[in-house]
Amino acid sequence: MAADELLHDIRDRIAKASRLAGRKPADTTLIAVSKTHPAEAIEPLLVAGQRDFGENRVQEAEEKWPALRARYPDVTLHLIGQLQSNKAADAVALFDVIHSVDRPSLVTALGKAMAAGKRPDCFLQVNIGDEPQKGGCAIADVPALLANAREAGLPIVGLMAIPPADVEPAPYFALLAKMARDLGLSGLSMGMSADYETAVTLGATHVRVGSALFGARAAA
Ligand SMILES: *Cc1c(COP(=O)(O)O)cnc(C)c1O
């Protein structure tokens, strides 16, 4: 399928999953995860009307997006990958939304970077499967990190998670949704190519879809 057909198919599936759950299609933002893909692969989606894009590396995004944005100024750029504190200022300058706030040292760095005035919306990333190799804040530490982030002036809009691979993701999505509800946060960044419909039925406000839109990525 061509890029615009894939896009319409995914939008249809999001709309169906929304209706199934009694939600509105417009309640979920589709983030097209364009990491590793060149501008030529991104352009057809821009032409088809897609405006939310996700990248996982600051430097790669800095190389690709200024030129695209000059032509599509209404793009919303989401940082979905782990962020090093020494890249915080660059991330704040480039991105509109940061989904990977996961530790106090990063909160401090982002707070300093935002003192200049630009304040991208932020999600706290939760290590929802308690996996040692994965980024994200431990579940028990999320309330303290939220307080810390608010004190530092970060606009925290919700929670983000990547459930463990190869197991049914629904219980993890439901747990993240419950945590957000308990904390009074409305944003839920969850669901990728393999499971975004499930995530939508469980309340996702942002799904991050890469390979289903762009095809498989080259091995890292
Ligand atoms: C790469 C990535 C995605 C997209 O993954 P696909 O399975 O290709 O849809 C979503 N979220 C994060 C954090 C990623 O790094």
Q: Give the burial class of 73: count Cβ atoms within 10 A of its Cβ; 0-12 exposed, 13-18 middle, 19 or more buried.
A: exposed
Domain range holding 173? 3-213
Query: Taking residues 79-96, what's their average pLDDT?
Result: 98
- Asked whether residue 127 is domain-assigned, the answer is yes
Q: In this structure, is residue 19 part of a structural domain?
A: yes
Is residue 220 situated within a structural domain? Answer: no
78 lines ligand 1 (CB under 6 A): no
Judge whether 203 lies within some domain: yes
Its pTM stands at 0.97
CATH number of the domain where residue 82 is located: 3.20.20.10
Task: Please report the pLDDT score of residue 215 as a whole number.
Answer: 84
Helix (H) or strand (E) holding 207: strand 206-209
Residue 117 domain-assigned? yes
Domain assignment present for residue 219? The answer is: no
Domain count, the chain: 1
pLDDT in tens, 5-48: 999 999 999 999 999 999 999 999 999 999 999 999 999 999 99
Domain membership flag for residue 31: yes
Residue 91 is predicted with a pLDDT of 98
Stretch 78-97: mean pLDDT = 98
Residue 220 has pLDDT above 80, yes or no: no
Q: Is the CB of 111 under 6 A from ligand 1?
A: no
Q: Which residue has the tokens 């919306």?
A: 121
With cut-offs at 50, 70 and 90, classify the pLDDT of residue 1.
confident
Residue 218 resides in a domain:
no
Predicted confidence at residue 194, as pLDDT, reads 96
Atom of ligand 1 nearest to the CA of 208: 10
